[in-house]
Structure 1
Amino acid sequence: MKKNIIYQLLPRLFSNQNTTNKFAGTLAQNGCGKFNDINDVALKSIKDFGATHVWYTGVLENATQTVYDGLPADDPAVVKGVAGSPYAVKDYYDVNPDYAVNVKQRMKEFEDLINRTHRHNMKVIMDFVPNHVARGYRSDVRPKGIQDLGEGDDTNVAFSTKNNFYYIPGQPFKGPKGTTTLKENPAKVTGSGSTTASPDVNDWYETVKLNYGLDVFHGESKHFDPIPSTWNKMLDILLFWSQKGIDGFRCDMAQMVPPEFWKWAIQRVREKHPQMYFLAEIYEEHKYRDYISAGFDSLYDKNGMYDHLRKLMEGHGSAYDVRNVWQGLEGISSNMLRFLETHDEQRITSQFFATDAFTAVPSMLVTATLSDGPYLLYFGQEIGVEATEPEGFSGADGRTTIFDYWGLKDWQAFLNAGKYDTQKLSERQKSLRHFYSSLNHFVLGSEAVKSGKFWDLQYVNDNGQSEGYNAHRLYSYLRFSDNQKLLFVVNFSKEEEYNFVLKTGKDALQAMKFDAQSNVSLTQVFPTSSSQKLNGNLVEGIRTSLKPLSVVVYQLS
């Protein structure tokens, strides 16, 4: 029985103890976390927190304005931020020199981090960015015999399956920042798929799109026979990193790469690395099943569960929407990765979202326990990290920057000079972290959550069937196995305490092999701050109450 709990961290920020925080500051001014900083103390804290996997975000070398010996800076006209976007990869075969203590030993320092993580019985996930690369992409450390991307391309044609890029013949690239030293003539198609030589400032202008055999100039018609050149080159990259001992790939914007490639590539990776985990960033729900069929273990559940839980956390929306999500994912719910924060989403505590970290409590319980699929926590979420200051490129947008060098002051209290402990946290932060940690360990110790069946209880409690039950703000469900029966109830309301009757219905009791005529004992097992016990007939209903933004899990017997 597996239940993956993925802990996402950005090394640049995770261990940075520099407090200067100059707007758009350099590495020398604002500092940067290192692979070596994620030491045994740090990893023990993550393991003790309950994580099973660590996603090291932004490991690959990206376009940057920072200069290193032998590694020149990129043209600022095609770099977002000073540090640069982790998703504008400059060399698929290299790691970010920012993260190395000894830049010449940067690959070994990452390999050591992989080994340290494994020693703490956690698995390693890294980004694979298949759709686009930095405009200045050039691999200078690729293995002998490996041909670089774009090498051998016929730049006189817009599209060819022998080319790795798409071209706009006769037109040089002109970026939104004006003049550039980048000699890109003809211009390449931008990472978003924009077929103009002059992409907009709001476009992915710093990247170029890779060609997987879809003709973007003619309705993305498919040309997969013979196998396009890019397929083989990207497979080489996947196998290169697989041999380093990583355990999984988080595949950036996987939906922009055809499922035919993924099926072909994933099969070949798993021939050599059978347990390799593939996670797809995907937002188009009508494509979900195609990408699962292609071999992905997990897909982002952003447009479904995240979006609807966010509405509830903001004080609108309805708990009915949660039911609609799982109904729409019938048969693939266990393939969905759920989360409330990632590097792309706004921090829960930001002024653009919920403002109060404890608003997440009911939504986080649902995120973690509604199915046996994985869930993700973004570093700092567990102490309510805020995103209130404009750090650089992205400004004050409610997100923690991925483009700039920065130190997260509230997170640095947890770093505590490398102790990774709670001594300097406020009581409120300690309480929040305790909730998250307790939830992780409750999930890992629960057979019903990890592999049990799911049963929605809204239908037997809404529409006035249960006195006092507000089905727009309360949500209830069962998770059960042969050895464990659990009843979950959450209150999404920020203001209302509900005193209500709760029912499971006769069918649910029979599914759990209970006598529908008998009384059932309910013993609270989460949160453990209370040991509430109830007793009664769940067909007729049992009266209980829930305070605002609170949750309860009962074990039934």
Structure 2
Amino acid sequence: MCGQKRSIDAKKSLLLFVLSLGLYACTPKQEKLETADEKPMMFELKSRLPTEPQGKPVVYQVFTRLFGNKNSTNKPWGTIEENGVGKFSDFTNIALQGIKELGTTHIWYTGVPHHDVIRDYTAYGISNDDPDVVKGRAGSPYAVKDYYSVNPDLADDPAKRLAEFEALIERTHNNGMQVIIDIVPNHVARNYQSLAKPEGVSDFGEHDDTSVEYAKNNNFYYVVGEDFAVPDALNVYQPLGGEPHPLADNKFIERPAKWTGNGSRKAKPHFNDWYETVKVNYGVKPDGSYDFAQLPEEYMQLDVQAHAAFWADKKVPDSWKKFRDITHYWLDKGVDGFRYDMAEMVPAEFWSYLNSSIKIKNPQAFLLAEVYNPDLYRHYIQLGKMDYLYDKVGFYDTLKAVMQDKTSATQLHDIQSAIADIEQHMLHFLENHDEQRIASDDFAGKVGGAEMGKPALVVSALISRSPTLLYFAQDVGEDGSEDMGFGDPTRTSIFDYAGVPAHQRWMNEGKFDGGQLTLGEKALRDFYLKVMNISAYHPAMLGEYVPIELTNPDKTIAFIRHADEHTLLVVSHFSVDNSVTISVPLPENILQNTTNQEGLELLTGDKYPLIKQQNLGFIKLNLAPMQSVIIQL
């Protein structure tokens, strides 16, 4: 709120200079300043940027079964015939170019490996899946049933499903982007059975000794002497919304019971456990001790060749070899990288073994891991040889709190400082399949809505050298409000057949031209296009981050991105109600290296004078609610 200033530790002379000018003050809510959206969109940003990405990746996550679906019925628990489904073939060259224009370098096709799904594909030799151990009708993409095949829902001809995905890989490459798919080493579906495995490859658990809880080369852990029992879900959940189904009988045969995916050792897991999956054994004994060689500490500093050499003569658990074979299979198909689900639930030594083998095979492979414990970040990057980790618990959670007016924007500087040594490895995002949509009522829908994503996007995408992840339909303000069955509203369901309304308006019956978007949605996408192209193409994005201390940082954050002769000043204002006039001090070294007398604002083409007095300088800004500026000095 206006008037609630925090004391900061700034250079005294510079601080007094700025304060003496009286250039930081609240503007009444009714005094409306001109914003970028109200200006004619005449400024051509592309002409100011290099023609090739500069090395800061942009990952576009698409939930594959939802992307091309034109059906808007959205019946809760609806079948594929009622609610429709998207296909690999919906990713046309036009659609892919629409993705690429967001600065995208990698597309993460979520939900590709064949997972459990409640639909009859027995005509193709696929066994029916049991609703008692499947979440939703369309199934969880993280209960993989066959790692050597793909989801038959996604194919025009299920018999040719693998060939159709291979064609999509080729189309994606032809459109100048790379392909990422999910690998979920921690767990597999309860009924894992590969129909497409190569000759000589055995299924998970096929050769396990089920008479013991644990053995090094068992793929699973067992509850010896007890049968699996479906968890109690009365008054909580009914499979398929209560619709009759021949297999929905509260029974699933598994003898003996296996440990559940989240580590539950009960034959009858709790409903909130990951009961649709089983935990994979990586040579971690039930007491937590390791049944494999451990890497010496100095390997934190050694390269993938040294890691690969370390494992070359070691006897590793069978599960390690299985996932090595799976990832290499997909690399041979043309996949360029992997997103690893819940990576911290698997020992870092396994990741050293797997990732070093991948990097030897493809040095450019893109390896992204879901790790939520900040104390383990360096362990999984340096010892596990991950390229990138989610920056959720630090950056995303803090940025969300800023957007919801629960903390000061200056906290983001503290987060960046805490990971300065690994910041280029920490992937930033505002949405993904696990998180609430920005425009949802529980996030920012009752405050700034999708517009609140604008200042957040600028900060998230531009503050560091880290990659940026966009979730499909984020750029058009999808609110995820549909209640589709198993999936919760506020998050676009990953368990149900559904249409995604805002995305469908951009898709425009397969034209992918935004023809049905509202004016607000078009303006939002235009904003995303500009910011993400700056993120992907501007040379300053590969340089240093310089935080700028403001006299009142609660609602506003400012920083410099600087590389050689390229300098950007970035300022984002998070207030939903108040405009502000602010004086942004420029660091002395930046000021000395800047010969221009004005800065060019890259979102609008406006020019801002540099005000200098002796060795001090600043730029004066008038910021509307939720406005950002990106000024090239």
**TM tier, shorter chain?**
over 0.9
Contact 1:448/1:479 (8 A) holds in 2: yes
Give the corresponding residue for 1:410. 502
Matches within 5 A, 1:485-496: 485-496=567-578
Contact 1:75/1:180 (8 A) holds in 2: no
Contact 2:570/2:629 (8 A) holds in 1: yes
Q: Which moved more, 1:228-237 or 1:62-71?
A: 62-71
Give the corresponding residue for 1:480. 562
Give the corresponding residue for 2:461. 368
**Other structure's SS at 1:91 match:** strand
Give the corresponding residue for 1:100. 155
Matches within 5 A, 1:329-340: 329-340=419-430
Matches within 5 A, 1:127-138: 127-138=182-193
Runs of 4+ in 1 over 6 A off after TM superposition: none
CA distance in 1: counterparts of 2:619 and 2:141, whole angstroms: 52
User: 1:265 Cα shift?
Assistant: 1.1
User: 1:508 Cα shift?
Assistant: 5.2
The equivalent position to 2:470 in structure 1, one of 361, 369, 377, is: 377
Give the corresponding residue for 2:393. 303
Q: Which moved more, 1:39-48 or 1:336-345?
A: 39-48
**Other structure's SS at 1:49 match:** coil
Cα-to-partner distance string for 1:498-521 (whole Å, 9 max, x where unaligned): 2122212335546xx45xxxx863
Give the corresponding residue for 1:188. 258
**Other structure's SS at 1:305 match:** helix
Q: From the superposition, tell whether residues 158 and 43 of structure 1 become closer, same or farther in structure 2 (CA, over 3 Å).
A: same
User: 1:529 Cα shift?
Assistant: 5.3
Q: TM-score, with normalisation over the residues of structure 2?
A: 0.83
How many corresponding residue pairs?
537
Partner amino acid, structure 2, of 1:351? D
CA distance in 1: counterparts of 2:146 and 2:438, whole angstroms: 33
Root-mean-square deviation (CA, aligned residues, Å) is 1.5
CA distance in 1: counterparts of 2:137 and 2:584, whole angstroms: 55
CA distance in 1: counterparts of 2:611 and 2:206, whole angstroms: 72
Give the corresponding residue for 1:342. 432
**Other structure's SS at 1:441 match:** helix
Q: TM-score, with normalisation over the residues of structure 1?
A: 0.94
Give the corresponding residue for 1:210. 280
Give the corresponding residue for 1:465. none
Matches within 5 A, 1:28-39: 28-39=81-92
Any stretches of 5+ residues in structure 1 without a counterpart? 462-468
CA distance in 1: counterparts of 2:603 and 2:332, whole angstroms: 42
Partner amino acid, structure 2, of 1:199? P
CA distance in 1: counterparts of 2:180 and 2:205, whole angstroms: 27
CA distance in 1: counterparts of 2:108 and 2:429, whole angstroms: 14
**Other structure's SS at 1:418 match:** coil
Matches within 5 A, 1:342-491: 342-355=432-445, 356-396=449-489, 398-449=490-541, 451-458=542-549, 461=550, 469-491=551-573
Contact 1:250/1:279 (8 A) holds in 2: yes
Give the corresponding residue for 1:316. 406
CA distance in 2: counterparts of 1:321 and 1:306, whole angstroms: 12
Cα-to-partner distance string for 1:57-102 (whole Å, 9 max, x where unaligned): 0100001111112223211100000000000000111100000001
Give the corresponding residue for 1:11. 64
Contact 1:455/1:508 (8 A) holds in 2: no
Contact 2:118/2:131 (8 A) holds in 1: yes
CA distance in 2: counterparts of 1:524 and 1:553, whole angstroms: 8
Give the corresponding residue for 2:205. 150
Partner amino acid, structure 2, of 1:414? W
Any stretches of 5+ residues in structure 2 without a counterpart? 1-53, 234-248, 294-314
Q: Which moved more, 1:47-56 or 1:130-139?
A: 47-56
CA distance in 2: counterparts of 1:300 and 1:329, whole angstroms: 13
Contact 1:315/1:494 (8 A) holds in 2: no
CA distance in 2: counterparts of 1:382 and 1:32, whole angstroms: 21
Partner amino acid, structure 1, of 2:289? S
CA distance in 2: counterparts of 1:295 and 1:9, whole angstroms: 25
Partner amino acid, structure 2, of 1:116? R
Please say if 1:60 is aligned against 2:108.
no
CA distance in 1: counterparts of 2:420 and 2:426, whole angstroms: 11
CA distance in 2: counterparts of 1:522 and 1:475, whole angstroms: 21
Please say if 1:502 is aligned against 2:571.
no
User: 1:181 Cα shift?
Assistant: 4.3
**Other structure's SS at 1:292 match:** helix
Cα-to-partner distance string for 1:215-253 (whole Å, 9 max, x where unaligned): 2x21x2111143111111110001000101111100111
CA distance in 2: counterparts of 1:195 and 1:308, whole angstroms: 34
User: 1:324 Cα shift?
Assistant: 1.4
Contact 1:524/1:552 (8 A) holds in 2: no
User: 1:347 Cα shift?
Assistant: 0.4
User: 1:180 Cα shift?
Assistant: 4.3
Partner amino acid, structure 1, of 2:284? L
User: 1:411 Cα shift?
Assistant: 1.6
Contact 1:522/1:554 (8 A) holds in 2: no
Matches within 5 A, 1:517-556: 521-528=597-604, 530-537=606-613, 539-556=616-633
**Other structure's SS at 1:354 match:** helix
**Other structure's SS at 1:353 match:** helix
Q: Which has the higher contact order (CA 8 A, sep 6+)?
A: 2
Please say if 1:91 is aligned against 2:118.
no
CA distance in 2: counterparts of 1:529 and 1:76, whole angstroms: 56
Give the corresponding residue for 2:5. none
**Other structure's SS at 1:360 match:** helix
The equivalent position to 1:71 in structure 2, one of 103, 126, 129, is: 126
Q: Which moved more, 1:367-376 or 1:223-232?
A: 223-232
Contact 2:562/2:568 (8 A) holds in 1: yes
The equivalent position to 2:374 in structure 1, one of 258, 275, 285, is: 285
CA distance in 1: counterparts of 2:506 and 2:405, whole angstroms: 30
User: 1:51 Cα shift?
Assistant: 1.0
**Other structure's SS at 1:94 match:** strand
User: 1:159 Cα shift?
Assistant: 1.0
